[in-house]
Amino acid sequence: MTEDKLQHLKGLAAPPARAEARERALAAAMAAFDAAASDADLAARGSAAAVEVSPIVGLPPTPNPSPRGGGESAAEKISATTPKDASGADRLKLTNNPIVRRPRMQLTRFQYGMAASIAALVVAAPIAMHVMRDAQPRPLAPEGWSPPAEAPRGAASKPRGLDETVAKPASPASVATAPTSSGVPATHDTQRIAGRDAPTIEALRREAAQKQAADAQRREDSKAKAEAGAKPTADVGAVVKTEADKDAKVGNRLPHAAERAAELEATTARKGNRKTEAGGETPQGTVRLDSGRGQEPTAVASPSVTVAAAPPPPAAASPSVAVAPPSAMAPAKPAVPPRAQFMGGAAPSSAAPSRNLVVPDQSGAASRSRHVGEAKIADGHPVGDVLAGQAGGKLHSAPHDQRTATYMPPRPEPAPHQVEENRDQFQGAPDNPVKQVAQEPVSTFSIDVDTASYSFARRALNGGRLPPKDAVRVEEMINYFPYDYTGPETADVPFQPNISVFPAPWNSAHQLVHIGLKGYELKSTERPRANIVLLIDTSGSMAPEDRLPLLKNAFRMLVDELKPDDTVSIVTYAGDTRVALEPTRVADKGRILSAIASLNAGGGTYGEGGIKKAYELAEASFDAKGVNRIVLGTDGDFNIGITNRDELKGYIERKRDKGIYLSIVGVGRGNYNDATMQALAQNGNGAAAYVDTLSEAHKVLVDEASSTLFPIAKDVKIQVEFNPAVVSEYRLIGYETRLLKREDFNNDKVDAGDVGSGHTVTAIYEVTPVTAPPSVDPLRYGGTAASEPQRRVGADTGPREAVAAGELGFFKLRYKLPKEDTSRLLTLAIGPQQTKATIAEAPAEARFSAAVAAFGQLLRGAPYLGSFGYDDVTALAQGARGEDRFGYRAEFLNLVRLAKSAAR
Amino acid sequence: MAGEGDSDDALAARAAAGERAAFACLLARHYDRLFRLAWRWTGRRATAEDVAQDVCVKLATAIRGFRGEASFATWATRIAYTTACDHLKAASRVHLLAPADMSSLVEASGETPEQEMQGSELWDQVRALAPQQRDAVLLVYGEDMSHAEAAAVMGCTEKTVSWHLHEARKRLKVSLAATG
């Protein structure tokens, strides 16, 4: 029986490709062919045919390509479209190299545009019908839908009231189908409808709008109003999912759906407010003007319909995007229960109906709601309070009451149908706000050498998606890159600060204070012995190629880097904990490698005592003079014996104090538990790295093996005090999760980040000189922000002011040497000698890190960059690539390009 | 037009030498087949059109390297097959709505979802198979290839293809019985 059915498979007709699609594909291919031809050595070939660039019309007629085309031949089709081909080719903007996706993307956008225009017509028509029925006694509805007998007269005339973008795509199709008798049925229908109703649509809409306004007034029901406002923007971007359809998994990230929805949304938005009003609610409430639902009225009627937010590809963040008007905060109140309203709450606030304004809100909400739905992390909390709490009060939240509060994503609502697809967890923290020097002249934070965020973002971008905003930590992106800063000479003072001040690339009135630290690079003879325990997750989820197999290769490379008298042991955890390798000296490399090779994924994760076992082994071969480190490789299942995160952290902390450090290598996607990894590595004096490719593994475990494994300083904290006579405002870019209290700086009990051999750490402040207009208006009453500096200059007569004159600020660094418990201090004044007048004069390393900072902020949707976009990032980074020995910076440039197209 | 009556392989040889018209003719001849193949794998017309276009562009850039070691049809099929698989792999990171839902959202043109999903149950079941089993079924039954041809396209041995088919049949029997 199965065999019969399968034999039947070939007989099942595939639907024919649309003629336009065929045309496009052939045109694109011919363009590619031509491009290849121009690349080839034409002279050598000497073939006139190859050189000749004939127009696309020159495609040969084909034998009946469409199984359902009836008598109509392809030649007819092609000739029918001939007049359009020139403009069509123009529209395609085929570049010389069509392999780049540009032509295709434009094509698909064209397709979306077309879908949108049709959607608009299909949706507008019923409303028009309805209003007409109300306005005139003549019943119109059923007849109105039956196609008129004669050829569509409206095919040539564009319906009024549709803007250019919509009308344009519609016309080629109408030309293509009009002369033939069969054509694509639905297009035909729509055209007819368009033709018939076009003259009246405008009037009808207006009527509908008026009627709607009257209705709304009558009811005075604010809830209804909110809903009406919400519809066209929020719902169009939403994807309708029927509960009954269990197979339909609404991915939170649906490039296809989202793009299309966004396109529809854009069209709707362009139509302006009129439509917004008209679309709210038709008297019967069955047909609504939101394109998404309008096409499936049954879905609207059905009570089982849920609406899940589909994040459209978040647009490039610009202030206008991220700065949500005050009304956008309304939905943050928990009092607004239904999701549609919550989504919509932000929508009416889009004074200018631009797609950009809506998009970030939605995507923010969507990504956040995903996290909250996990219920594992308390993402809804506005600031890093959560983190601070969990980190035992050691990490500090930004004082969020002082935030300029320009951007506040709406408080998420748990979606009723949680999507299983993406269970990666990130703990978000809002961007550091602009601070007034007069009020808070001192900024303190712990350094961060983690790089996980960059790798994760890269993985998302390579997949054609923007990373979730919370996954982007600007400082980690900046610190991903090795910088060629001047390093210290000896290990006694393990740091050399490199500070430069130059105009901010995105705001010439502001300056960037760029602080680059270079850690001392241990020479290999000085390298202490290493005692390394690999704690490897071998649960079933580790089976995919990018997890355990990747880790195995990575650890193999690591073992190659170690010296013969280093020690390696391996503990695995899955269904149970297993010691795969007792502590073994690297001299016996064969045994280690075969132990690694024998690892297999399978089983659950009940690894009771996995981590304890690892610490036991580390203690067994503890080397008081060497480095003792556990390297945990996992895809995020931290069910390693101690499941309570705080308990686990406490455990790791205690072991850290005994001298055993923990580093984490994260792999895989879908289950990645970023928050836990961060917290654990931070508490274990180690770095959390996310490894998505073998080359990344190589970077983490080989190129940077010594910095990953051998610390040169621990608890490194930075404090910068700004001079209010010179600087009125400052903002620390990144380090949101690493802020410390001012008094913690001198408290050696407070844990902070660690720096490995040769690590570079970069921190960037954006400062507003007093000469530039501040972003916050001076207060009218009392101790004003603006007048305070002057007052203090006048009041303080001490030598301090004299010293500080001209100084922009004062940099302080506290660190402990690896085996010491008291911290040492390093200071440096930031003065005119470090200030550069133009960006070009700034060191290349500083410029590149500024570009990375800008990129990170763009990905986060931070509202501080003005019109600075991905192209500007590229330009800035391009000029500062430096030596780029490992090609990291070239890769960065590529990522910026990917982000740009993903953001579209 | 150039080479209307010529064989695929003759045209391909001329296209490889840079003759534009020959390539155009080849493409026009094969587009529909490539599209159908893409559709069988992806199950959605819009996606299939995208894939087919990718395939065309790939063919255009690669034709110069075509040495006639396999027939043009086989070569093109292999490219289409890998492109479709790549596409599915990329898309598998993302759970799309079921095609019917998607098309109801944006595909106002074209057939109704019902029409587009003719015999959808069987397609669904086939597409739900493990990738290699699915490929084997689609190549052998959908593209009407012999086991050997399918093996060449899939880059495995004939025996493996037969085994995948066997597994696929076993599974389909169960899943089809379950859905009636």
Q: How far from A798 is each of A538, A724, A802, CA to CA, in Å?
A: 65, 15, 7
Higher pLDDT among residues A174 and A867, named by residue: A867
CB within 8 Å: A257 and B96? yes
Contact indicator for A258, A311 with CB cutoff of 8 Å: yes
Closest residue in B to A123 (Cα–Cα): B108
Q: How far from A804 is each of A89, A793, A807, A829, CA to CA, in Å?
A: 65, 11, 5, 9
Closest CA to A708 of A507, A527, A458, A515: A527
Considering only CB atoms, B1 lies closest to which of A10, A12, A60, namely A60
What tokens does A616 get? Answer: 């036991």
Question: Does residue B76 have a pLDDT over 70?
Answer: yes
Q: For A651-687, what is each residue's pLDDT tens digit?
A: 888 888 888 888 888 887 655 666 677 777 777 767 7
Closest residue in A to B28 (Cα–Cα): A62
Query: Of A37-46, A122-131, A761-770, which has the strongest mean pLDDT?
Result: A761-770
Q: Longest C-alpha distance within chain B, in Å? A: 54
Q: For A215-258, what is each residue's pLDDT tens digit?
A: 545 554 444 444 444 444 333 333 333 333 333 333 333 344 44
pLDDT of residue A443: 92
Q: Smallest CA–CA separation between B23 and chain A, in Å?
A: 8
pLDDT of residue A125: 54
Contact indicator for A795, A558 with CB cutoff of 8 Å: no
Q: Up-side HSE of residue A505: CA atoms within 13 Å toward CB?
A: 27
Q: Chain A to chain B, count of Cβ pairs less than 8 Å apart?
A: 242
Helix (H, G, I), strand (E, B) or coil at A754: strand
Residues of B in contact with A118 (CB under 8 A): 108-109
CB-based contact, B156 to chain A, within 8 Å: no
C-alpha–C-alpha distance, residues A425 and A811, integer Å: 35
Residues of B in contact with A76 (CB under 8 A): none
Closest residue in B to A20 (Cα–Cα): B49
Closest residue in B to A1 (Cα–Cα): B173
CB-based contact, B180 to chain A, within 8 Å: no
C-alpha–C-alpha distance, residues A11 and B30, integer Å: 19
C-alpha–C-alpha distance, residues A528 and A530, integer Å: 6
Considering only CB atoms, A45 lies closest to which of B18, B39, B98, namely B18
Considering only CB atoms, B21 lies closest to which of A60, A62, A111, namely A60
Q: How far from A687 is each of A11, A44, A690, CA to CA, in Å?
A: 58, 57, 10
Task: Give the least confident one: A142-156, A338-352, A504-518.
Answer: A338-352
Which H or E element spans position A719? strand A711-722
Q: How far from A69 is each of A73, A74, B113, CA to CA, in Å?
A: 7, 9, 19
CB within 8 Å: A9 and B137? yes
What is the arithmetic mean of pLDDT over A319-324?
34
pLDDT of residue A771: 86
Q: How confident is the model at residue A338 (pLDDT cuts 50, 70, 90)?
A: very low
Residues of B in contact with A292 (CB under 8 A): 105
Residues of A in contact with B47 (CB under 8 A): 256
Q: Smallest CA–CA separation between B18 and chain A, in Å?
A: 5
Q: How confident is the model at residue A704 (pLDDT cuts 50, 70, 90)?
A: low
Question: Does residue B48 have a pLDDT over 50?
Answer: yes
Residues of A in contact with B48 (CB under 8 A): 14, 17
C-alpha–C-alpha distance, residues A846 and A839, integer Å: 9
Higher pLDDT among residues B61 and A200, named by residue: B61
What is the arithmetic mean of pLDDT over A176-191?
39
Question: Does residue A763 have a pLDDT over 90?
Answer: yes
pLDDT of residue A720: 93
Q: Which of residues 136-155 of B touch A (CB under 8 A)?
A: 137-138, 141-144
What is the arithmetic mean of pLDDT over A620-640?
79
Q: What is the percent of chain A where pLDDT is above 90?
A: 8
Write down the ipTM of this complex. Answer: 0.72
pLDDT of residue B107: 37
CB within 8 Å: B49 and A3? no
Helix (H, G, I), strand (E, B) or coil at A733: strand
CB within 8 Å: A2 and B47? no
CB-based contact, B27 to chain A, within 8 Å: yes
CB within 8 Å: A17 and B49? yes
Considering only CB atoms, B93 lies closest to which of A114, A292, A463, namely A463
pLDDT of residue A660: 86
Contact indicator for A189, A177 with CB cutoff of 8 Å: no
Residues of B in contact with A25 (CB under 8 A): 31, 49, 52-53, 56-57
How many H-runs (helices) and E-runs (strands) does chain A carry? 32, 18
Q: Smallest CA–CA separation between B141 and chain A, in Å?
A: 6
Q: Smallest CA–CA separation between A224 and chain B, in Å?
A: 25
pLDDT of residue B135: 85
Question: Does residue A307 have a pLDDT over 50?
Answer: no
Question: Does residue B100 have a pLDDT over 50?
Answer: no
Q: How confident is the model at residue A185 (pLDDT cuts 50, 70, 90)?
A: very low
Considering only CB atoms, A49 lies closest to which of B18, B104, B144, namely B18
pLDDT of residue A241: 36
Q: Smallest CA–CA separation between A121 and chain B, in Å?
A: 10
Higher pLDDT among residues A539 and A836, named by residue: A836
DSSP state of A775: S
Question: Does residue A860 have a pLDDT over 70?
Answer: yes
Q: Smallest CA–CA separation between A83 and chain B, in Å?
A: 19
Residues of B in contact with A266 (CB under 8 A): none
Q: How confident is the model at residue A177 (pLDDT cuts 50, 70, 90)?
A: very low
C-alpha–C-alpha distance, residues A264 and A291, integer Å: 7
CB within 8 Å: B104 and A295? yes
Residues of A in contact with B24 (CB under 8 A): 26, 30, 58-60
Q: How confident is the model at residue A552 (pLDDT cuts 50, 70, 90)?
A: confident
Helix (H, G, I), strand (E, B) or coil at A712: strand
What is the arithmetic mean of pLDDT over A100-113?
48
Contact indicator for A355, A315 with CB cutoff of 8 Å: yes
Question: Does residue A856 have a pLDDT over 70?
Answer: yes
Q: For A713-749, what is each residue's pLDDT tens digit?
A: 888 999 999 988 889 999 999 898 888 888 889 888 8
What is the arithmetic mean of pLDDT over B7-25?
86
CB-based contact, B178 to chain A, within 8 Å: no
Q: For A247-299, what is each residue's pLDDT tens digit?
A: 333 333 334 444 444 444 444 444 433 333 333 333 333 333 333 333 333 33
Residues of B in contact with A99 (CB under 8 A): 57, 61
DSSP string, B69-117: SS-HHHHHHHHHHHHHHHHHHHHHTS-PPPHHHHHHHH--SSS-HHHHT
CB-based contact, B174 to chain A, within 8 Å: no
What tokens does A207 get? Answer: 């009527």
Helices within A273-338 (DSSP H only): 273-279, 291-294, 297-301, 319-322
pLDDT of residue A133: 52
Helix (H, G, I), strand (E, B) or coil at A536: strand
Residues of A in contact with B12 (CB under 8 A): none
Q: What is the percent of chain A where pLDDT is above 70?
A: 48
Contact indicator for A243, A305 with CB cutoff of 8 Å: yes
pLDDT of residue A764: 94
CB within 8 Å: A25 and B31? yes
Residue pointed to by tokens 């493990």: B130
Q: For A452-505, what is each residue's pLDDT tens digit?
A: 788 888 888 887 888 888 888 899 899 888 888 888 887 778 888 999 999 999
Closest CA to A150 of A190, A181, A129, A126: A181
Helix (H, G, I), strand (E, B) or coil at A178: coil
Question: Does residue A157 have a pLDDT over 60?
Answer: no
Q: For B119-130, what is each residue's pLDDT tens digit?
A: 567 777 787 788
pLDDT of residue A43: 43
Q: Which amino acid is at A475?
A: E
Task: Give the least confident one: A633-642, A772-781, B87-96.
Answer: B87-96
pLDDT of residue A597: 86
CB atoms within 10 A of CB A832: 10
What tokens does A307 get? Answer: 């609406």
pLDDT of residue A18: 76
Higher pLDDT among residues A234 and A639, named by residue: A639
What's chain A's average pLDDT?
Answer: 64
Query: Of A14-28, A109-123, B115-129, which has the strongest mean pLDDT?
Result: A14-28
